[in-house]
Amino acid sequence: MFLTVTANPSVDRTVEVERLTRGSLHRASDVLVHPGGKGINVARALVRNGFKARAVVPAGGAEGDQLIALLTEYSIDVVRVPVLGPVRSNITVVEPDATVTKLNEKGAHLGGPEIEALCEAIRTHVADVTWVVIAGSLPPGVHDGFYADLVAQIRPTNARIAVDTSGPALIAALKAGPSLVKPNVDELSEAVGRPLGTLGDAVDAAQELRQRGAGAVLASLGADGAVLVSADGVWHAEAKAEPKSTVGAGDAMLAGFLSAGGAGPAALAAGVAWGAASVSLPGSTMPGPEDVSAHRVVLHPDIDRTRRVQS
Ligand SMILES: Nc1ncnc2c1ncn2[C@@H]1O[C@H](COP(=O)(O)OP(=O)(O)OP(=O)(O)O)[C@@H](O)[C@H]1O
Ligand SMILES: O=P(O)(O)OC[C@@]1(O)O[C@H](CO)[C@@H](O)[C@@H]1O
């Protein structure tokens, strides 16, 4: 059983347009609505592939009801933490060449008792869990050290902990010693305070996050795949895909990695296979077994340190 925590969930609306022009009226050619937020996406991907996942979600307002109804459609085991503020709506505008423009709201403010209720829900549901995934931004009202506090609370249990967040929340979480962090290249660059031009730069930055407390670093590099940097070694894997929408690709990648044990090169290859599959699907659709092709993954035994990475 996997447990995901999404402190700042969303209803994701993906609007497809022919071409986005600032200041113009656009008629959407299609619209998709998905339950969103990084932890929720991880749970959706796992369940889609036959794994058991439980999602802890603070959800208020009519938008919260909509989110829970959407999650129920996806057969997710949802633990709803009732809160006052409404769940945010995040808008993605996608053009035919897969250019994504994303507008994320701040999210509902959580008050002290609501934050405590969220912590209590996590404590109550962590008993039979192999991995806890703590993912996404922090909503207003929640301090930067919240994920670090959660990691510290969960560490005494048997569960391993993956954190996928950014900025000060990521920096603070490192010190609490999560088993894994999953930054993308921009988040990794921000965490170490320097640009990352090559694969070698990304590996060095990931090693720095390990020195600061992370057990392993799974860094997603968009079309360049992902690197895994752990005590057991360093690997790079990638898979070609024809992108349609990259939203949620990092979440699918993390889910694939955890589904395959959450350590080592085979798990990295699974993660990259799920990530590549997700970018070929519209909106933040999570891939199922029929979408994932393991044979497309190239696992590099040696890191090409001079290879350029896009950010
Ligand atoms: N253009 C692409 N072609 C092939 N694979 C891709 C492409 N873009 C992303 N991927 C796959 O998806 C994974 C995650 O991508 P990325 O680094 O963009 O994640 P992210 O920024 O965390 O995404 P999100 O926050 O939307 O979930 C990559 O590690 C890679 O496996
Ligand atoms: O604003 P955050 O919490 O950083 O990210 C939220 C979000 O962009 O992440 C998911 C994709 O990874 C989407 O489902 C969702 O809209």
Angle subtended at Cα 17 by Cα 12 and Cα 19, rounded to the nearest 5 degrees: 130
Q: How far is the CA of 148 from the centre of ligand 1 (A)?
A: 25
The DSSP string of 87-143 is PEEEEEEE-TT--EEEE--------HHHHHHHHHHHHHH-TT-SEEEEESPPPTT--
Phi, psi of 123 (to 5 degrees): -55, -40
pLDDT of residue 261: 98
Q: How far is the CA of 181 from the centre of ligand 2 (A)?
A: 16
Q: Is the CB of 253 under 6 A from ligand 1?
A: yes
Interacting residues of 182 by C-beta distance below 8 A, sequence separation 6+: 135, 162, 163, 164, 217, 218, 219, 220, 250, 253, 254, 257
Instruction: Please compute Rg for the chain using Cα positions.
Output: 18
Which helix (H) or strand (E) segment is 244 a member of? none
pLDDT of residue 310: 82
Q: How far is the CA of 132 from the centre of ligand 1 (A)?
A: 21
Nearest bound ligand to the CA of residue 186: 1
Q: Where are the domains of the chain?
A: 2-300
Q: Which atom of ligand 1 is nearest to the CA of 221?
A: 17
Q: Is the CB of 287 under 6 A from ligand 1?
A: no
pLDDT of residue 301: 85
Kindly list the protein residues whose Cβ atom lies closer than 6 A to any atom of ligand 2.
8, 10, 12, 36-38, 41, 90, 104, 136-137, 247-248, 250-251, 284
Q: Which residue puts its alpha carbon closest to atom 6 of ligand 2? A: 37
Q: How far is the CA of 215 from the centre of ligand 1 (A)?
A: 22
Count of C-beta atoms within a 10 Å radius of residue 22: 5
Q: Is the CB of 249 under 6 A from ligand 1?
A: yes
**CATH of the domain spanning 2-300, picked from 1.10.3470.10, 3.40.30.10, 3.10.310.10, 3.40.1190.20:** 3.40.1190.20
Q: Which two tokens mark 257?
A: 């990695």
Of 129, 133, 162, 119, whose CA–CA distance to 52 is shortest?
A: 129
238 and 224 Cβ atoms separated by less than 8 Å: yes
Distance of CA 240 to the CA centre of its chain: 20
Angle subtended at Cα 239 by Cα 235 and Cα 245, rounded to the nearest 5 degrees: 120
State whether ipTM is beyond 0.85: yes
Q: What is the pTM of this model?
A: 0.98
DSSP 232: T
Count of C-beta atoms within a 10 Å radius of residue 99: 13
Q: Which atom of ligand 2 is nearest to the CA of 249?
A: 12
Of 230, 215, 309, whose CA–CA distance to 267 is shortest?
A: 230
Run means of pLDDT, 10 residues per run, the chain, 311 residues: 98 96 95 97 98 98 97 93 98 95 97 98 95 98 98 95 98 98 98 98 98 98 98 97 95 98 98 98 96 96 93 69
